[in-house]
Chain A
Amino acid sequence: MADWEGGIISNTKGPQSSTQNTGVLTLNDHMQLKQAARLQLTPIPSATYPDNEGLRAPITVTKTTTTADDSSAYQVYHNDFDSAAAIGTTGRLYIAIKCTTGNGSFGNFYNDLCIGGIQLTSDDYSTLDIGWAFSELTDYTAWEYATVTGMTSAAAGYENLDDIQDAASQTWPSCVAGVSNARISRATGTGSTLTGANNGISTDYSSQNAGTILGSGDTTVDQANNTNFMYTESSGSGAYMSNEWWWIRSPEITLNGESNKNISISIHAFSREALQGGVDISMKDAADNALLRWFWAT
């Protein structure tokens, strides 16, 4: 049987040279169309996981009336990373953190969300692919932050991955040690009462050190004395940063090719219990108002 079909007169316009009559396909043209149709049946691998809107890490925000920085344990978010790993073995993690505090007289300063560390492990938690503990300075400076976020101006924020990547004049320098408003910062303790952690987590959770794995049963991890964390420094009564996003991304990672991955993120969310004018001005997290989302992009 011939591997082409008859009917070279088509009622749809195909690829033509200037010498061809409309609706008349050469055999070669016809075969090209058939091949293109076959190719369309093959899904084109997405370069982003899970999608342009990311995956929310549900976070329990501890509301407080205690002014001091909080010393309670970080909560550990776990998620299956398999699908992301299957997309490609080299890429970056992206994280978007939203300023969900109110913008009344107290401004935005209850939104110091802290990240102690991030790990990628095998799904049985036996192998650590890579672990960052942000008290380890080089773990922190290996990550990069978006310089164009809209948080310091009247410009709109950038909610999704395409938005932040395509922002005009966007750059991604290494995270800067120290503290600056509206920028991902690194500290032990924060400049604000009623929000933020007192310390980070042990540097043992870094690949550079012991590489201790946060297992599936580890839903919390204690703070370690005199350690630093990565956090979203938010200050001031300016309304700009409310409902906008800090963005960070990992260094480029080459996974080991096994599509059995888990991700864990150690998060500390501590915020003032407060209403102002009937409006909750504390940091918050909800399905339709995600405080932290993550992405994988090749």
Chain B
Amino acid sequence: MVLGDIMIAVNQISIDNGIIDFTPIESIAKGDYILLYAGEGILELESPSDASLDTWVAWVVNSYNMLPNTTATATLDGNKMVLTANDDNDLEIYLDLGSL
């Protein structure tokens, strides 16, 4: 999960009002990792292979929606993950990106 020749930092990812914009990520490699907390749901994924960014974001969105008991719903908008919830408090997002 790199930007140029460095690992991505979350300060390069826009997180605003339930929208996570992954566009700055240039590539996804096997072993790249995401832990996402939003809407009471905790999603933890490790990429099983190299992937294009759009494929990876779609995988993250679909995986999030398979979590039980979440209070938010994710949709895909290009390379953005859009979370919606009845309560804005459920759009609090914590994100951990890296490589395991």
Residue of B nearest to A198 (CB): B11
Q: Does A272 contact B (CB under 8 A)?
A: yes
The reply to whether B98 and A191 form a contact with Cβ atoms under 8 Å apart is yes
Interface stretch among B2-10, B56-64, B73-81, B82-90? B2-10
The reply to whether B11 and A68 form a contact with Cβ atoms under 8 Å apart is yes
Q: Please, which residues of chain A bring their CB within 8 A of the CB of B37?
A: 106
Residue of B nearest to A188 (CB): B9
Q: Does A257 contact B (CB under 8 A)?
A: no
Q: Please, which residues of chain B bring their CB within 8 A of the CB of A179?
A: 6-7, 98-99
Q: Does B19 contact A (CB under 8 A)?
A: no
Q: Which of B14-41 contact A (CB under 8 A)?
A: 15, 33, 35, 37
Residues of B in contact, count (CB < 8 Å): 22
The reply to whether A237 and B6 form a contact with Cβ atoms under 8 Å apart is no
Classify the secondary structure of A's interface with B. Answer: loop
Q: Please, which residues of chain B bring their CB within 8 A of the CB of A69?
A: 9-11
Q: Please, which residues of chain B bring their CB within 8 A of the CB of A106?
A: 35, 37, 42, 94
The reply to whether A193 and B33 form a contact with Cβ atoms under 8 Å apart is no
Q: Does B49 contact A (CB under 8 A)?
A: no
Q: Does B93 contact A (CB under 8 A)?
A: yes
B100: contacting residue among A67, A181, A188, A272, CB under 8 A: A181
Q: Does B44 contact A (CB under 8 A)?
A: yes
Classify the secondary structure of B's interface with A. Answer: strand
The reply to whether A235 and B35 form a contact with Cβ atoms under 8 Å apart is yes
Q: Which of A90-110 contact B (CB under 8 A)?
A: 105-107, 109
Chain B: minimal CB distance from A71 (Å) = 9
Q: Which of A167-201 contact B (CB under 8 A)?
A: 178-181, 187-194, 198
Chain A: minimal CB distance from B17 (Å) = 13
Given contacts A191-B98, A193-B96, contact A236 B44 (CB under 8 A): yes
Contact with B along A128-160 (1 / 0, CB 8 A): 000000000000000000000000000000000
Chain A: minimal CB distance from B24 (Å) = 11
Using a CB–CB cutoff of 8 Å, the interface residues on chain A facing chain B are 67-69, 105-107, 109, 178-181, 187-194, 198, 233, 235-237, 272
Q: Closest 4 interchain pairs by CB?
A: A189-B9, A179-B7, A191-B97, A191-B98
| Pairs across A and B, CB under 8 Å, 29 listed | A67-B10, A67-B94, A67-B95, A68-B10, A106-B37, A106-B42, A106-B94, A107-B35, A179-B7, A181-B98, A181-B99, A188-B6, A189-B10, A190-B9, A191-B1, A191-B7, A191-B8, A192-B10, A192-B97, A192-B98, A193-B15, A193-B96, A235-B33, A235-B98, A235-B100, A236-B96, A236-B100, A237-B35, A237-B44
